[in-house]
């Protein structure tokens, strides 16, 4: 009887610990080998057959197709440079330059990776359509209300994710954070 | 008490195994991964356009709305595949994914260096079976080896401005993926 109870307890603990840790790991996105520059993080290994098992499981669960390393690289930002979560009700300014690449696109998604509905049907910018300053830098205002210059609407949602994709770029597995990867800064301005 | 702690230790060890097994097995059990999402809208060995993402509906999460996209869901069981796509005005890329959505090869218009990206896709066995004399003419033939019999070829063309998406989609309609005649 004691043996049976013990076995039951042992299996219950195993199921709880095993499935619980798996769920936690995939929910919070534990993946190895990320490169972080400011608020931005990329996982260049996810674009190669060397993708780690956790990232593979996450990709299978979310249903996205990771960008191939011969195509480009994808940087995610969920917070600003001060590590405050990106809030669609605030004005956030993204400014600076991007690393060397033939093209880049910046896109705003909700945390699940869906585009956000807004009145002007703009979900992002490409490197070709952005209005630049005389020195080649640019700045984009991300917020719920229309702004002059480059304005990226948030639709007023509470949390969002910014994704910067660099296409045909030397940035990749060998990249370290430093002067070679000048990512744009993200700073929160007005917040009601 | 000691007996209880021993059972707990056993449970923890077993839990670690459960964790590893579930993480490793999840990709093969997933029913909402990219391949499964694309399967209903893509016939085998044919190029089909993937509808651009909108706030209401997207085939996959985190799709880039600045790109026109088409997919060839391939099956190499019977024969290798011939693939070609003319390059678009700004940027065209072709990425190859295994059945488990792992990208194993990608090429873009500049790397291809021509007006058309052309290549042959085959398994390692089919590559080994190629007659020797064909290897001589293979110099300008790009051969890509697929690690799995089935998988995805994803073709993307950039629309640098929203107004150019129609012309980018137009380029992709000329893409072809066909099994080689045996």
pLDDT tens-place string over residues B72-131: 999 999 999 999 999 887 899 999 999 989 999 999 988 877 788 889 999 999 888 887
Task: Report the pLDDT value the prediction gives residue A182, as an integer from 0 to 100.
Answer: 87
Is the Cβ–Cβ distance between A47 and A40 less than 8 Å? no
Is the Cβ–Cβ distance between A106 and A162 less than 8 Å? yes
Q: Which fold has domain A34-52+67-188?
A: Jelly Rolls (2.60.120)
**B18 with A51: Cβ contact below 8 A:** no
**A56 with B102: Cβ contact below 8 A:** yes
Is the Cβ–Cβ distance between A143 and A151 less than 8 Å? yes
The whole model's pTM is what? Answer: 0.89
Task: Report the pLDDT value the prediction gives residue B90, as an integer from 0 to 100.
Answer: 84
Q: Determine how β-strand B116-123 pairs with β-strand B143-146.
A: parallel
Domain that holds residue B1: 1-30
Chain A residue with CA closest to B92: the answer is A71
Q: Residues B158, B80: one domain?
A: yes
Cα separation, B57 vs B53, whole angstroms = 6
The H or E element spanning position A11 is helix A2-27
Task: Report the pLDDT value the prediction gives residue A192, as an integer from 0 to 100.
Answer: 78
Task: Report the pLDDT value the prediction gives residue B10, as an integer from 0 to 100.
Answer: 87
Count of domains for chain B: 2
Q: Which residue from B19, B104, B159 is facing A49, i.e. has the nearest CB? A: B104
Which residues of chain B have a CB within 8 Å of the CB of A64? 34, 60-63
Q: Please report the ipTM that was assigned to this predicted complex.
A: 0.86
Which residues of chain A have a CB within 8 Å of the CB of B32? 61, 63
Task: Report the pLDDT value the prediction gives residue B139, as an integer from 0 to 100.
Answer: 56
**A13 with B23: Cβ contact below 8 A:** no
Task: Report the pLDDT value the prediction gives residue A54, as an integer from 0 to 100.
Answer: 86
Is the Cβ–Cβ distance between B66 and B164 less than 8 Å? no
The phi, psi pair for B65, rounded to 5°, reads: -70, -10
Q: Residues B54, B136: one domain?
A: yes
Chain B residue with CA closest to A112: the answer is B61
| Residue keyed to tokens 């873009």 | B108
**What stretches in chain A show pLDDT beneath 70?**
28-31, 176-180
Q: Residues B2, B51: one domain?
A: no
Q: Residues B24, B39: one domain?
A: no
Q: Residues B91, B112: one domain?
A: yes
Which residues of chain A have a CB within 8 Å of the CB of B11? 9-14, 17
Q: Write the burial class of residue B46 (CB in 10 Å: 0-12 exposed, 13-18 middle, 19+ buried).
A: middle
What does the pLDDT look like over B118-173, one tens digit per residue? 899 999 998 888 876 655 555 567 889 999 999 999 999 999 888 899 999 998 99
Cα separation, B112 vs A148, whole angstroms = 40
Q: In a mutagenesis test of the A interface, which of B10, B13, B15 is the best target, namely the one with the most A β-carbons within 10 Å?
A: B15
**B106 with A66: Cβ contact below 8 A:** no
Give residue limits of the domains in chain A. 34-52+67-188
Q: Which residue from A115, A128, A129 is facing B53, i.e. has the nearest CB? A: A115
**B103 with A67: Cβ contact below 8 A:** yes
Task: Report the pLDDT value the prediction gives residue A15, as an integer from 0 to 100.
Answer: 87
Our CA angle for A73, B172, B158, nearest 5°, is: 35
Q: Residues B20, B73: one domain?
A: no
- Residue A80 Cα distances to A44, A95, A159, A165, B134, angstroms: 21, 12, 12, 18, 56
Cα separation, B138 vs B80, whole angstroms = 15
């Amino acid at each position: 009887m004691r043996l049976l109870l013990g076995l039951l307890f042992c299996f219950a603990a195993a199921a709880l610990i095993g499935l619980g840790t798996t769920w936690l790991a995939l929910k919070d996105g534990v993946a190895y080998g990320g490169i972080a520059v400011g608020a931005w993080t990329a996982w260049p290994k996810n674009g190669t057959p060397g993708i780690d098992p956790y990232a593979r499981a996450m990709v299978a669960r979310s249903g996205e197709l990771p960008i191939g390393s011969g195509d480009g690289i994808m940087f995610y930002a969920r917070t600003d440079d001060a590590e405050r979560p990106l809030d669609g009700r605030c004005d956030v300014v993204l400014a600076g330059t991007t690393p060397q690449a033939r093209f880049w696109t910046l896109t705003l998604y909700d945390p699940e990776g869906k585009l956000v509905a807004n009145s002007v049907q703009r979900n992002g910018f490409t490197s070709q359509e952005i209005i630049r300053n005389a020195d080649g830098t640019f700045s984009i205002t991300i917020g719920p209300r229309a702004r002059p210059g480059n304005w990226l609407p948030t639709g007023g949602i509470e949390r969002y994710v910014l994704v910067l994709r660099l296409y045909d770029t030397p940035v990749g597995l060998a990249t370290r954070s430093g002067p070679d990867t000048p990512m744009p800064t993200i700073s929160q301005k007005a917040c009601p | 008490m000691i007996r209880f702690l021993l059972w707990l230790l056993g449970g923890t060890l077993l839990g670690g195994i459960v964790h590893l097994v579930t993480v490793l097995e999840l990709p093969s059990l997933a029913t909402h991964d990219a391949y499964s999402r694309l399967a209903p809208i893509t016939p085998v060995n044919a190029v089909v356009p993937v509808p651009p993402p909108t706030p209401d509906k997207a085939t996959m999460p985190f799709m880039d709305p600045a790109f026109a996209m088409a997919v060839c869901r391939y099956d190499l069981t019977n024969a290798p595949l011939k693939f070609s796509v003319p390059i678009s005005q700004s940027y065209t890329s072709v990425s190859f994914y295994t059945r488990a959505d792992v990208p194993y090869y990608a090429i873009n218009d500049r790397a291809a260096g021509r007006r058309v990206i052309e290549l042959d896709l085959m398994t390692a066995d089919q590559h080994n079976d190629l007659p020797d004399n064909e290897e001589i003419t293979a110099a300008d033939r790009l051969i890509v080896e697929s690690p799995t019999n089935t998988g995805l070829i994803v073709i993307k063309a950039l629309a640098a401005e929203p107004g150019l998406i129609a012309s980018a989609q137009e380029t992709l309609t000329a893409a072809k993926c066909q099994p080689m005649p045996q």
